[in-house]
Amino acid sequence: MTFREVALVHFDSEMRVGFLLAYYRSFGVPHISEVLVASGEVTGRPKKRASDTGIVIYEIIANGFESERGEQMVDLLRRVHRKVPGTGDDFLYILISLLVLPVRWVMANGWRPLEQAEVQAAHRFYQELGKRMGLKNIPPTYDAASEFFDHYEAANVRAATANRTLMEAAAQLTAVRLPAPLRPLVPTILSGLIDDRRFCEAVGLPKPNSIMTTLVRGTVRLRAARTAQRPLPVKARFVPGAAGSSSSYPRGYELREIGPESSSE
């Protein structure tokens, strides 16, 4: 599967950054962020929520839609989203974020640009995921998905208290992973990583600083240049259920542990 190799092997690190940026993105839409704050998952258990979001997608990518594990994760997504208020465009936006932002990140910062066939494979994966979740009006091409993403944000991203609440929780989670001297710089680092003035203002991050943005992107591109000189990896770092696949589950995990506490209801 082309997308499996892209996401889990050849561009593993770049895709992880892209997925993280996609995870943050709905924090900039007030009517979505208010629902997330009310649920208490992002603010009360930010590490588990972030990890579980990644695990669900990685499980489906690694195992395929027809596998037992893949089907369980798609079913989890259906059950969770049945309980969440929102329009079809809101759910479509969240899905499309997982497609568009990782692709854009790799194209701008990867050790090589994605080939058209790889972009198309990514689109087919999320198109299929959207269909299995019961979403309607899924953009038929990657370019159409990218256009939908930009138009949705232009109409819906704006400042709100709930946005800032979610980003503060995310920033605290990022801070604990960094050396103590760097922790006060987390908002500025995140702003440089995101590099989107409108979104940063909406979630209470400082405006992107050209020096920090250059430093962050320069570090990423230096790593990409080094990666391009090394032999391509042949094995995925993500191993479903295994220890080390997620920092939230250092001893490994069972699928029944993934998702909100109420997801089995």
User: What local confidence, expressed as pLDDT, does residue 245 receive?
Assistant: 65
CA distance 110 to 13: 9
Structural domain of residue 169, as residue ranges?
2-250
Question: Does the predicted TM-score (pTM) go above 0.85?
Answer: yes
259 located within any domain: no
- Domain assignment present for residue 265? The answer is no
> With 60 as the cut, is the pLDDT of residue 265 above it?
no
Q: Is residue 264 in some structural domain?
A: no
194, part of any domain = yes
Instruction: State how many domains the chain has.
Output: 1
Q: What percent of the chain has pLDDT over 90?
A: 63
pLDDT at 264 over 70: no
Length of the chain, in residues: 265
Task: Examine residue 127 and state whether it is found in any structural domain, yes or no.
Answer: yes
Q: Tell me if 11 is assigned to some domain.
A: yes
